[in-house]
Amino acid sequence: MKIYIAAPLYSEMEREYNLKIDTLLREKGYDTYLPQRDGGVVSEMPDLIDGMPKDRYVFEKDKEAMDGSDVFLFLLDGRVPDEGACVALGYFYASGRPSVGLKTDSRSLCEGEDNLMIRMALEKICSSIDELYQYLKGKE
C-alpha cells in the first residue's frame, strides 16, 4: 500500500514531525510519498528543474505521486490546515480513493471541529498513530 502524506512543510518543526510519521509508517511496511523528501521544497530549489519552473515541477511531481497512491494521509496538526494539503485532499477525494487525517492537536476552527469540507472529505480523523495503524490495517 502506498500512502501520500500531505502536511505543512515550511518550518523545521513541521518537517521533523512529517519525517517522524513517515518513518513510523515505513517501519510498519508501508510505502510512502513524502513531498518534502520526494518532491522537493520549492524555497530550496533552483528556479528551473528539467526545463520547468520549480513550482510547476513540484506540482506535477506531487500530482503524479497522488495518482499512484492508494491512501491519502493528511497531517492536520497546526493552527489551521495547510492550504496546499487542502487542495491535494480535494484532488485525491475526487479520485474516490480513501483519505484519512491524523490530528493530535486540540485546536479547531468551529466549535471543537475542523472545517466541514475537510472533515467530509476524510473517511476518518485519527487522534493517535495507533488509531491510524488500525485504520490502515482495515484498508489492506
Question: Secondary structure of the chain in the HEC alphabet?
Answer: CEEEEECCCCCHHHHHHHHHHHHHHHHCCCEEECHHHHCCCHHHCCCEECCEEHHHHHHHHHHHHHHCCCEEEEECCCCCCCHHHHHHHHHHHHCCCCEEEECCCCCCCECCECCHHHHHHCCEEECCHHHHHHHHHHHC
CATH number of the domain where residue 13 is located: 3.40.50.450
Q: pLDDT tens, 3-26? A: 999 999 989 999 999 999 999 999
Taking 90 as the threshold, does the pLDDT of residue 107 lie above it? no
Question: What residue has cell string 515550511?
Answer: 10
**Residue 93 one-letter amino acid:** Y
Pairing of strands 2-6, 71-75: parallel
- The count of domains in the chain is 1
Q: pLDDT tens, 23-82? A: 999 999 999 999 999 998 888 999 999 999 999 999 999 999 999 999 999 999 988 889
Model confidence, pTM: 0.93
Q: Range of 56's domain? A: 2-134
Residue 140 placed within a domain: no
C-alpha cell at 53: 519552473
Contacts of 41 (CB under 8 A, 6+ apart): 9
β-partners of residue 100 are 73, 124
Taking 80 as the threshold, does the pLDDT of residue 108 lie above it? no
